[in-house]
Amino acid sequence: MSFAKITVSALAIAAAATAANARDNVQMAGSSTVLPYATIVAEAFGENFSFPTPVVEGGGSGAGRKKLCEGVGANTIDIANSSSRISKSDVETCAKNGVTEIIEVRFGYDGIVFASDIKGAEFAFTAADWYAALGANVAKDGKIVPNANKTWADVNAKLPAQDILAFIPGTKHGTREVFDIKVLEAGCKATGAYDLFVAASTGADEKAKKADAGKQCLALRTDGVSVDIDGDYTETLARIDAAKNAIGVFGLSFYQNNTDKLRVATMEGVVPTTEAIAKGDYPVSRPLFFYVKKAHIGVIPGLKEYVTFFVSDDMAGPNGPLAAYGLVADPELAATQAMVEAETPMAPLK
Partner 1 sequence: MTDISPTPAAMPRTHGLSGSLLTESPLMKSRNAAEARFRSYGIAAIVVALLTLAIMLFTILRDGTSAFFQATLSYPVLIDGAIVDKGGKADPAEMAKVTTISYARLLGDSLIKHLADKGIAVEGMTPKEVTDMISKDAPARLRDQVLADPSLVGKTINVNAFVGGRIDGYMKGRLTRESSANDSNVTPRQLDMADKMIEAGILRSKFNWSFVTAPDASDLRPEAAGLGVALIGTLYMMFLVLIFTLPIGVAASIYLEEFAPKNWFTDLIEVNISNLAAVPSIVFGILGLAIFINFAGLPASAPLVGALVITLMTLPTIIIATRASIRAVPPSIRDAALGVGASKMQTVFHHVLPLAMPGILTGTILGLASAIGETGPLLLIGMVAFVTNYPAGPLDGGFLDPASALPVQVYSWASRSDPAFIERSSGAIIVLLILLVIMNVSAILLRRRFERRW
Q: Are 72 and 23 in contact (CB under 8 A)?
A: no
Three-state DSSP class for residue 74: coil
By the rule CB under 8 A, 211 interacts with partner 1: no
How many residues at the interface with partner 1, by CB under 8 A? 58
By the rule CB under 8 A, 120 interacts with partner 1: no
Among 30, 36, 317, 318, binds partner 1 (CB under 8 A): 36
What sign for the dihedral angle of Cα 332, 334, 340, 344?
A: negative
The nearest distance, CB 265 to partner 1, in angstroms, is: 15
HEC-encoded secondary structure of 149-195:
CCEHHHHCCCCCCCECCEEEECCCCHHHHHHHHHHHHHHHHHCCHHH
By the rule CB under 8 A, 27 interacts with partner 1: yes
Q: Which is nearer to partner 1, 100 or 258 (CB)?
A: 258
Please report, for residues 70, 76, 165, 317, the alpha-carbon distance to residue 104 in angstroms, rounded to integers and kept in the order given.
Answer: 17, 18, 38, 18
Among 34, 42, 86, 165, binds partner 1 (CB under 8 A): 42
Q: Which is nearer to partner 1, 21 or 202 (CB)?
A: 21
By the rule CB under 8 A, 307 interacts with partner 1: no
At residue 79, φ and ψ (nearest 5 deg) are -135, 140
> How buried is residue 285: exposed, middle or buried, by Cβ count under 10 Å (0-12/13-18/19+)?
buried
CA atoms within a 13 Å half-sphere pointing along the CA-CB vector of 322: 31
Among 12, 48, 161, 319, binds partner 1 (CB under 8 A): 48
* Interacting positions 230-269 with partner 1 (CB under 8 A): 231-234, 251, 253-254, 256-261
Q: Which residues bind partner 1 (CB under 8 A)?
A: 3-4, 6-7, 10, 13-14, 17-18, 20-21, 23, 25, 27, 29, 32, 35-36, 38-40, 42-44, 46-48, 50, 52-53, 55-59, 70, 73-75, 77, 118, 231-234, 251, 253-254, 256-261, 314, 321, 324-325
